[in-house]
Chains A and B, each alone.
Chain A
Amino acid sequence: MENFEPKIVAFLCNWCAYAGADLAGVSRLQYPSNMRTVRVMCSGRVDPLFIIKAFKQGCDGVLVSG
């Protein structure tokens, strides 16, 4: 597990969390590079089936933020 690099899919709300992730960049905050963002117009758009899909595809984690 030492070299384990999880794949994390992040569903980020365009208006808050995605903007926050942009601001993290503007502020040059450093964090691990394992996250892959899927932009949605609201976290309410995230159908539970999307989360299941992510896990089925082999993702190790899902982050819904909004």
Chain B
Amino acid sequence: MARPSEYDEELAERKAIYKLYAQAIPGSFAIEKLDQAPCSMACPAHLNVQGYVAMVKMGKYREAIEIIMKDLPFPGVLGRVCPHRCEKSCRRLETDEAISIRELKRVAADHVDLSEIPVPDIAPRNENVAIIGSGPAGLTAAYFLALDGYKVIVYEAMPETGGMMRYGIPEHRLPRTAVLDAEIENLKRYGVEIHTNTAIGKDITIEELREHGAKAVFMSIGAWKSLKLRIPGEEDAQAGISDVISFLREVHLGKIEQVDGKVVVIGGGHSALDGARVALRLGASEVHIIYRRSRTEMLAEPEEIEEAEKEGVNIHFLVAPLKISNENGKVTGIECIRTRLSEVDTTGRRKPIPIENSNFFIEAEHIIPAIGQEPDFGAFGESHGLEVSKWNLLKVNPETLQTNVPDIFAGGDVVTGPATVIEAVEAGKRAARYIAEYLQGKELPTEWQEEPPMGTNWTAPPEDEPIKERMKIQTLAKEKRLSGFEEVNLCVDEDTAKAEAARCLDCGGCCECFQCVTACKAEAVTLETHASQAETLSVNVGSVILAPGFQPFDPSRFDNYNYTNHPNVLTSVEFERLLSATGPTMGHLTRVSDKKEPKKVAWFQCVGSRDMNRCDNAYCSSVCCMYAVKEAVIAKSHSENDLDCAIFYMDMRTPGKDFEKYRNDAEDKHGVRFIRSRVHTINPVPDTDDLEVGYVTDSGEKKSEVFEMIVLSVGMEISPEITELAGRLGIEVTDGRFCKTEDFNPVATQKQGVFVCGAFQGPKDIPDSVVEASAAACSAGISLASARGTLVREKTFPDENDVTDEEPRIGVFVCNCGVNIGGIADVPAIAKYAKQLPDVAYVEENLFTCSQDTQDKMVEVIREHNLNRVVVAACTPRTHEPLFQETLRNGKLNSYLFEMANIRNQCTWCHSEDKEKATEKSKDLVRMAVARASLLEPIPDLSAEVNNSALVIGGGAAGMTAALSLAEQGFPVTIVEKSPELGGTARDVMKTWRGKDVQAFLSDLIGKIENHSDIEVMLSAEVVDATGFVGNFESTVVSEKESKTIKHGAVIIATGGQATVPDEYLFGKNPRVTRWHELEHHPEKLKDAESVVFIQCVGSRDENRPYCSKICCTTSVLQAISIKEQNPDTNVFILYRDIRTFGEREMLYKEARQKGVIFIRYALDRKPTVVEAGDKLEVGVFDPILQRDLLIEADIVNLASAIEPAPNEKLAALYKLSVNAENFFMEAHAKLRPVEFASDGIFLCGLAHYPKPLEESIAQAQAAASRAVTILSKTSIEISPLVSQVDQEKCIGCGLCAEVCSFSAIILEDFEGKGYRAKNIPASCKGCGLCAASCPQQAIDMLHFRDEQIAASVCAAA
């Protein structure tokens, strides 16, 4: 069942059972089930139509029949005679015509021999059930009761089984031997016993059935007594009148073989048509049908009426019989009258009203009334005791079909009057269910149980679904028909049937064919798990963290981008999938329309961001500029041609760490074109798949350019579902629908105990999201500190056996991984090969080596066979090594006596087209693993005690926040601050961008720090020496007062940064030139000022500092607004390069413009000039829009100078930390480990990492504290024992190892009498082995990756 893949942005398909993407965690599959398809709901027996149609589509006929037989035992019969209500509700009708469902069922039935379908194991039950009547209701009940284990005996009054299926439906519609007989015969395989020629009441009584052991009886005796016409002459004729049921029965029994003369059939149902067509086949010279109503009211289906007319049946509509004439008792004809129809009456039908004087006469030798039947209780006599309605039908409970006699149930025509086979089948199935419940002593419902209303959550039909005609059914040539009873409708060929089945819209998602259950050898997908439903759980928690994310803006709301109607206009998220190796094109950049590689691609920025006109998103989405640059660079690298990439933008906003350099490289090294313009039109170029882009340049010049692909850089927005969730939780949101947070507590919502992180907090990229995630964990952790560790359960293992002196005895387990390995490589051959390898004592094959039962068995095998090494040839150690290592521990072996041969991920999956080579490679990999395994040695676990206090270096806002976050969780902290007071650069800042008072916050924070018993503050102090490793650092701190050595488990670096002192624009030379917050501290300078000019990027984004200082735009805009608020007449100018008011700061930019602040852009190669002009200043700048130089008289020029880090070199050397080219500290991973250093136990926050606004510093400080807690909260930490080992006898003390080690994990130490020798520090060692590879004396070896172990692998490989 194919469904559009959400992960691939619907550019590719997935199955209804699917994993979201290959690396998804958890790595299990989900099944997408929607509401049941309307066809199934319309079917009286609720057949799984979508399921068997899907099977026919794949040519899996047997599977189709197995699906059908879950609901009824007569696929071939119903494939022919069902009135197919399902087709009337088919959603295909909205597009063209319904699927020909009934015919597809017939196709499946005609291709399957039922006797080949295995009977399931049935657990027999003791009770017997008697079924009276072998029509569709009786036999269906028999089938389901037999499946349920009951002993079923069917009693049939007629000489043959099948009831009306045999005696009422003529053979040209339902072949006897091939279909009906076969399907009834098949029931015997399920244990159904049938006695024909046994009439109840005559041959055996119900009481006798009970005496013979029947604990329940099902009455399904049908309706066999024809209703009378009640017109004159009906009773007078002795010959020539026969009701249709008797007529068809006599024909079937061979008592009527020929019909001479003319025939008139009266009625409009299936029987009337059947009678007419049979009469024709038996030689009637003319056959008429008269029917009181019109063609549309006729119960028989239109196709059937058409076929009858084709054969020569003369149908008279709107004609009613008046009188039958006879001559000497022999029919001569019938007098009729024409009718008209009344309006719809209260019963919903149109009544026929005779038209006066329209009488006419039809000559006929035979009259066949076909106007309905009722049950015939004749044989039962008066004493059956069952309640009968006024229509002479049995009265039953409509839900359970139980009669007034508790052990007698009834269903089919005897209850409903003449109806269809499928309705009888439904009754049989229903009766079987309730008879079983009755026999099991369950309480039966007394009333009709309403079914839940039909859900309409179905798959959306594809918008571009083409019209596909419904298949045509071939019929037998007319000449061939009348000579006998050959089946009229022919079976369509397989291709036609498959094409017809493929028209299905798969309304219900998963079609419940359960092929996945059959396919899953691990028995993970079972009928039970397949049926599992969403559950509602109640969880008792102390904090809640909201991380609900965002949705990409949907540009189909805009018509001007041609997104919905042009295949080559994609969103950036879709484009991302095209670039991905796991995406729909495996990373090959091709166009959607023609699969050709494009030569020119354009990106349009700010689609759905910074836009109040066409969408509600006034904010900047913060991430789009950077991802567009990245996509352009990657697209170029994926392209074999010289791909031309152009980015159309308003402001290029790349304020993140190292982003500006990336943007510059994109332009300078990769040749990405940056075009500052908002595109106004995109028009498809006729006769091509290209698009023409119209835009206006800065200087007002109109331009146009043709591109082969357009990427819309869509913004982030909060989905209505998340807004609704926020409402439910009582959480306030901003104008941009993001969660409202406070600047000084950036991850706390307005509701206590509920925290937020990620894009819901505000639009942001991955590193900031990861930072906030840790910050939220920290905030949640503070309130939960007392409960820490209370829900932890520890694993215990048996003692290890000492195997050091034993000869290797290796056990090899070769995994089939279902068919992942076994379906490609020859696993038995690999196992056989492994058996003869040296030291191998035991080999086995597993279907799934990782399954729990195999783990249990492995423990047994290790013990039984005295194994002391284990090799598993299966998947990758990166995912499964820990699992098997644990099994070894349970088997009393050290975890490191284990090795894996990766014969799946790196073999069968990659060589699936060459099974032989995959087998050969697998053998080699097993040989290499065995060779290595024989040299493996037990390695004891390593752990170190943890000192649970922390050292925070830097007493600014970040350092203090980190310290307080730790102390509030009970961990002692020492703050080392180089200056004589706490506060750092935040002391200069008056307000946050939201207008919050920074100084009040700062004094509150300092107060808390100074009064906290777990925090020691050392002022005018610095770290002068540091040793140790994670959990056990020793740092020497010297202050004015003292020098002391502090032991601590973790370090947080928060050394901050500051604004640079500019050496341009007359700064320091003229008092009217100020920088940053000076104006806020000296408001008197602004008094009487008529004109204030802000200059941005002073010392940022240039050659010396190729980075953006991130906070300057917002700060200047904020100050400009404040000046305008105080005096609207002051002229305020901001000279900028790009305005980078990211996120919701964009609103400030808008406000500034509304207040009349004038923004003038300048280019780096045309910087503004500032000169003294009399008492004032004169600022010169080139305005790119006016295309001319401007001179601005200014009272004040305020400079937004670059932010630079504090001098970090000394600390970097002490703790072996890396810094980038601009001296900012380097985190372990820019995206995923943004507050950790590569060395364990050392963390980073604040301006030392990169310029950032206060709220980001606070979040980062909380994040650093959170990460530190993961260490400090332990009493000891496990250290990977795969570390270096120094042979001090061989070591010559050259120190090369210490030099190359990035982690201070190997040092030189003076050993008495030996001189300097290398010494490893296991707790710091990452096991990389650089030292071992560098050692000229081969004095260093790596545990578990020893020279000889690697050499053994290499030798075995060759």
Contacts and interface: CB of A to CB of B under 8 A. Distances in A.
Contacts of B917: 33
Interface in A7-38: 7, 9, 14, 18-19, 21-31, 33, 36-38
A28 B910 contact: yes
A19 to B, nearest CB: 6
A46 B878 CA distance: 20
B22 A27 contact: yes
A38 B928 contact: yes
Contact of B23 (A26, A31, A53): A26
B1217 interface: no
Contact of A25 (B877, B910, B925, B1300): B910
A21 B905 contact: yes
A11 to B, nearest CB: 8
A33 B911 contact: yes
Nearest to A37: B906
Nearest to A58: B1358
Contacts of B904: 25
Contact of B1351 (A37, A45, A53): A53
B1342 A41 contact: yes
A57 B1355 contact: yes
Contact of B918 (A14, A33, A48): A33
Contacts of A24: 905-906, 910
B1329 A36 contact: no
Given A41-B1282, A45-B1333, A45-B1345, A33 B1354 contact: no
Given A14-B878, A24-B910, A26-B23, A38 B1354 contact: yes
Contacts of A7: 1357-1358
B22 A26 contact: yes
A50 to B, nearest CB: 6
**Chain A interface residue bracket vs B:** 35 or more
A45 B1354 CA distance: 14
Contact of A54 (B581, B928, B1330, B1358): B1358
Contacts of B1351: 50, 53
A59 to B, nearest CB: 5
Contact of A53 (B1330, B1345, B1354): B1354
Contacts of B911: 30-31, 33
Nearest to B1355: A57
A18 B876 CA distance: 9
Contacts of B1350: 38, 40, 45, 50
Contact of A23 (B23, B1327, B1355): B23
A2 interface: no
Contacts of B1300: 44
Contacts of B1327: 41-42
Contacts of B906: 21-22, 24-25, 37
Among B920, B925, B1347, B1350, the most chain A Cβ lie within 10 Å of the Cβ of B1350
Contacts of B1342: 41, 45
A29 to B, nearest CB: 6
A28 B906 CA distance: 10
Contacts of B57: none
A49 B1337 CA distance: 13
Contacts of A27: 22, 581-582, 586
Contact of A18 (B878, B910, B914): B878
Interface in B889-930: 902, 904-907, 909-914, 917-918, 920-921, 924-925, 928
A26 B1327 CA distance: 27
B1282 A26 contact: no
Nearest to A57: B1358
A38 B1355 CA distance: 11
A55 to B, nearest CB: 9
Contact of B912 (A28, A53, A54): A28
Among B912, B920, B928, B1328, the most chain A Cβ lie within 10 Å of the Cβ of B1328
B982 interface: no
B910 A22 contact: no
A22 to B, nearest CB: 4
A46 B1354 contact: no
Given A37-B902, A37-B906, A40-B1345, A29 B1354 contact: no
A26 B909 contact: yes
**Chain B interface residue bracket vs A:** 35 or more
Contacts, number: 124
A32 to B, nearest CB: 8
A39 B917 CA distance: 21
Given A38-B928, A41-B1329, A22 B902 contact: yes
Nearest to A5: B917
Contacts of A23: 22-23, 581-582
Contacts of A45: 1328-1330, 1332-1333, 1342, 1345, 1350
A41 B1341 CA distance: 13
A44 B1333 CA distance: 7
A46 B1345 contact: no
Nearest to B1356: A36
B1353 interface: yes
A3 to B, nearest CB: 13
Contacts of A38: 928, 1350, 1353-1354, 1357
Given A9-B1354, A14-B878, A30 B1329 contact: no
Contacts of A40: 1329, 1345, 1350
B1330 A19 contact: no
Contacts of A26: 22-23, 582, 905, 909
Nearest to A14: B878
Nearest to B1358: A57
Contacts of A28: 909-910, 912
A50 B907 CA distance: 23
A44 B909 contact: no
Contacts of B1357: 7, 9, 36, 38, 54, 57, 59
Interface string B1286-1324: 000000000000001000000000000000000000000
A38 B1345 CA distance: 10
B907 A33 contact: yes
B11 to A, nearest CB: 16
A26 B909 CA distance: 7
A10 to B, nearest CB: 9
Contacts of B23: 23, 26
Contacts of A53: 1351, 1354-1355
Nearest to B1282: A41
B909 A25 contact: yes
A28 B823 CA distance: 14
B1354 A50 contact: yes
B921 A36 contact: yes
A31 B910 contact: yes
B140 to A, nearest CB: 46
A63 to B, nearest CB: 12
A27 B1284 CA distance: 35
A48 B1333 CA distance: 8
A37 B921 CA distance: 10
A33 B928 contact: no
Nearest to A26: B22
Contacts of A47: 1332-1333, 1347
A5 to B, nearest CB: 9
18 contacts: A7-B1357, A7-B1358, A19-B878, A27-B586, A29-B586, A33-B910, A33-B918, A36-B925, A39-B877, A42-B1329, A44-B1329, A45-B1330, A47-B1332, A47-B1333, A50-B1350, A53-B1354, A54-B1354, A59-B1358
Given A25-B904, A38-B1350, A57-B1355, 4 more contacts: A31-B911, A42-B1326, A53-B1351, A53-B1355
Interface of B: 22-23, 581-582, 586, 876-878, 902, 904-907, 909-914, 917-918, 920-921, 924-925, 928, 1282, 1300, 1326-1330, 1332-1333, 1342, 1345, 1347, 1350-1351, 1353-1355, 1357-1358
Report, nearest first, the 10 A-B pairs whose CB atoms are least far apart.
A45-B1329, A25-B905, A42-B1328, A57-B1358, A44-B1330, A25-B909, A36-B1357, A33-B917, A22-B905, A47-B1333
